[in-house]
Amino acid sequence: MLLGRHEDSVFAKGKSLPTEWTEEVVKVLTETYLERSEKDNRFFDVHAQSFEKETVVVISYIHHSDQLAAPISIFISLENDEKMDSKELSKALKALVDLSGHVLDDIFAQEDWNEFFPNWTENKFKDYTFHYKITRENVSLSLQAEEILKGKEF
């Protein structure tokens, strides 16, 4: 499954960001959009991996009782810079979460929002250049299917 913009993210196994970080992002999004998510009967699911060329965070907004209902998934890519130390990466990831909030605010501002952007779009935000796309993919199900298919011969 291609999470990021670069082909190497298909063939290389990315390094998952710490579970504590993704859980904190879910907590922040849930608290921020609690009223909306309760109304929509949806929850946030976050996946984050770092590859050689980029770090990718995927935030999905998934229906609680019907995971086959089309989710909204925001893929955000940050180029990995060799000069970026852990403190700078932490700052960039915070900006990434802030950017996701702006995207979600735009989505939630319209009751019947349906403007998906399946192609990567560049966005400069807080001194960083991010690329993002918005799809209907249920990333959790795609990753689960990928795990099941590993090692199976057809």
What is the Cα–Cα distance from 50 to 4, expressed in whole angstroms?
A: 9
Local confidence pLDDT in tens for the 154 residues of the chain: 567 787 665 545 778 899 999 999 999 999 999 999 999 999 999 999 988 888 999 999 999 998 678 899 999 999 887 777 788 888 999 999 999 999 999 999 987 777 788 899 999 999 899 999 999 888 887 777 777 777 665 4
Give the chain's domain count: 1
CA 26 to chain centre: 11
1 part of a folded domain: no
CB 71 within 8 A of CB 136: yes
Helices (H), the chain: 8-11, 19-32, 34-40, 86-108, 139-149
3 part of a folded domain: no
Domain around 30: 8-149
CA 111 to chain centre: 22
131 part of a folded domain: yes
pTM of the model: 0.87
To the nearest 10 degrees (0 to 180), the angle between helices 86-108 and 19-32 is 30
